[in-house]
Structure 1
Amino acid sequence: MQYFLVSNDPDRRARWHDRLKAAGLNVTGEYDPSAVIVTIGGDGTILYAARNYLEPRILPVRAGSSKGNRAAFDVDQLVETLQALEDGHAESSSRTFSTLTAEADGKELEGGFQALNEISLHHSSPVLAATFAARIEDDTTWEFPELIGDGVLVATPFGSTGYFTAITGETFTDGFGVAFNNIHTPADTPEMVLCSESVVVEVELLSTKRSSGAVLTRDDDDTPYELSEGETITIRAGDRTVELLDVI
């Protein structure tokens, strides 16, 4: 088995690359699609790998002060765990997660607006509310012609343990979830809607206030997409998947 290491700390990556090679493990310095990506860090490192490598197989490993809840084990167990896997004394299990994508006029935003956790609309100013419309088309169709509040997000099962559960207090294991974030108008707006993977969510920015408008964000990417007044964005299942491994 071949491994490719990813870390937000270059020194840590280099150190563990050398340790795995010294232990006789097959480690590559350049990404090979057949390799298992070992992410050393936290949930953000997983999201980085999912965003930057096509159809990745990821083995998450906690390191440093990470509070991430998706890692299989701690970095000090890495050599021992991989050797047990290679020697047949341990087995791997996996789960494949769908991604989300955001589109405008049938084209993906900025040539690749994919997300493993969630795609979220919110006002770019923390002191202002967003005014937007939403349409959720699944087995049932929900229409929200005008919503005022902090925003809305569409989450995957992988992302349901993050921002989604912070808003709703719930998680889910299948399909996608739509969470309405602190909507005060109308008051009877549901906190969440659970949907199938076939759902199509449309959001439209109805108006902006002062000099600050709404933005669309994905996962932990710090480059948001700035929405224009009257612009409609479609959020649906993406064409990429991410396989997450565990060692048992």
Structure 2
Amino acid sequence: MAKVAIFGKTPESKEQLKKELKKFGFLYTEEKPEIVITYGGDGTFLWAERKYPGTPKALFRYSKTCVKCHNLPITHALELLRKKKYTIKTHNKIQAKIDTTTMLATNDVVIRNALPTHAVRFTLKIDGKQIDGEIVGDGIVVATTFGATAYFHSITRKTFNKGIGIAFNNTTIEHKPMFLPETAKIEFTVTRGEAFLVTDNEPRMVVLTPGKTVKITGTKEKARIIQF
């Protein structure tokens, strides 16, 4: 009997899913599940991934903003899960390090100006080589392939399916997006002003003051998405 956890958009949807799980012979649990079902949108999945990192997840739509959610009826999907008629696609994560803090991202790492009335000045290095001197703007978005259709796409109107992407957010001089291999080492250093460092939709924010450097790299951590 497979152990399944549920992340529902509403308490009512979660309770209804619990009843359906029982009908198909699954055991609901919040401790070490083998599968996680998310019923919501992109944000619901990201919350679930932080709580159960790496556990296979089946994404179901309760929101218009969920590009990768399934449109199958829940009962049909549960039957496929019971019969193990699905595949699992892995998505590489990235990490941001500053001082002793490490933050993982399934979607993206976002560094942006702390005050909307003030730009942030920064330098950017890729594998030790500085890019274009000092840059002035609202910051950058460093995206995974999973996050290529999210904030990165909103800025660049482009997507990608391998490696890491960097979008430059509202810079005074146009900077085209960069597409890098997963082994790339990215260093963002604040030279003037303050910025916030965030990952995905996590509430935690790190304040970056002048002289602070964030190092962004690939990681061995992966998100696993169930596909029917």
TM-score by length of 1: 0.85
1:156 aligns with 2:144: yes
**Is 1:128 the counterpart of 2:126 in the alignment?**
no
**Which among 62, 69, 90 is matched to residue 71 of structure 1?**
69
Instruction: Tell me what 2:30 maps to.
Output: 30
Q: How does 1:120-199 map to 2 (within 5 A)?
A: 120-137=110-127, 141-184=129-172, 187=173, 189-199=174-184
Displacement of 1:156 in angstroms is 0.1
3-state SS of 2:50 partner: helix
Identify the match of residue 204 of structure 1 among 181, 189, 194: 189
Match for 2:141: what amino acid?
A: L
Instruction: Answer whether contact 2:143 2:165 (CA < 8 A) is retained.
Output: yes
Aligned residues of 1:135 and 1:144 also touching (Cα < 8 A): no
Percent of aligned positions that are identical: 26
Pick aligned residue for 1:119 from 87, 104, 109:
109
Structure 1 counterpart of 2:54, which letter?
E
Residue 81 in 1 paired to residue 81 in 2?
Answer: no
Q: CA deviation at 1:142?
A: 4.9
Q: CA deviation at 1:69?
A: 0.9
Residue deviations 1:63-101, cap 9 Å, x none?
A: 2x4431111225xx112221134246xx31221111111
Q: Distance in 1 between matches of 2:79 and 2:8?
A: 20
For the structure 1 residues 244 and 147, does the alpha-carbon distance in structure 2 shift closer, same or farther, using more than 3 Å as the test? same
Q: Deviations over 1:27-52 (max 9, x none)?
A: 3222325x111111111011111122
Q: 1:237 — aligned with what?
A: 218
Q: 2:152, 2:167 within 8 Å by CA — same for their partners in 1? A: yes
Could you tell me which runs of 5 or more consecutive residues in structure 2 were left unpaired when the two chains were aligned: none
Please, which runs of 5 or more residues in structure 1 have no aligned partner? none
**Alignment partner, residue 3 of structure 2:** 2
The CA distance in 2 between the partners of 1:31 and 1:239, in whole Å, is 24
The structure-2 alpha-carbon separation of the partners of 1:79 and 1:31, relative to structure 1 and needing over 3 Å to count, comes to farther
- Inter-partner Cα distance in structure 1 for 2:133 and 2:50: 32
Q: Secondary structure in 1 aligned to 2:168?
A: strand
Q: Which runs of 4+ in 1 moved over 4 A?
A: none
> 8 Å contact 1:38–1:59 — kept in the other structure?
yes
Aligned residue identity for 1:80? H
Task: Let me know the Cα RMSD of the aligned residues.
Answer: 1.9
Aligned residue number for residue 55 of structure 1: 54
Secondary structure of 1:154 counterpart: strand
Query: Equivalents in 2 of 1:92, 1:16: separation in Å?
Result: 19
Counterparts in 2 of 1:84 and 1:97: CA distance versus 1, 3 Å? closer
Matches of 1:170 and 1:81 in 2, distance apart?
Answer: 31
Q: CA deviation at 1:149?
A: 0.7
Contact 1:206 1:229 in 2 (8 A): yes
TM-score (norm 2): 0.92
Distance change >3 Å, CA 8–CA 238, structure 1 → 2: farther
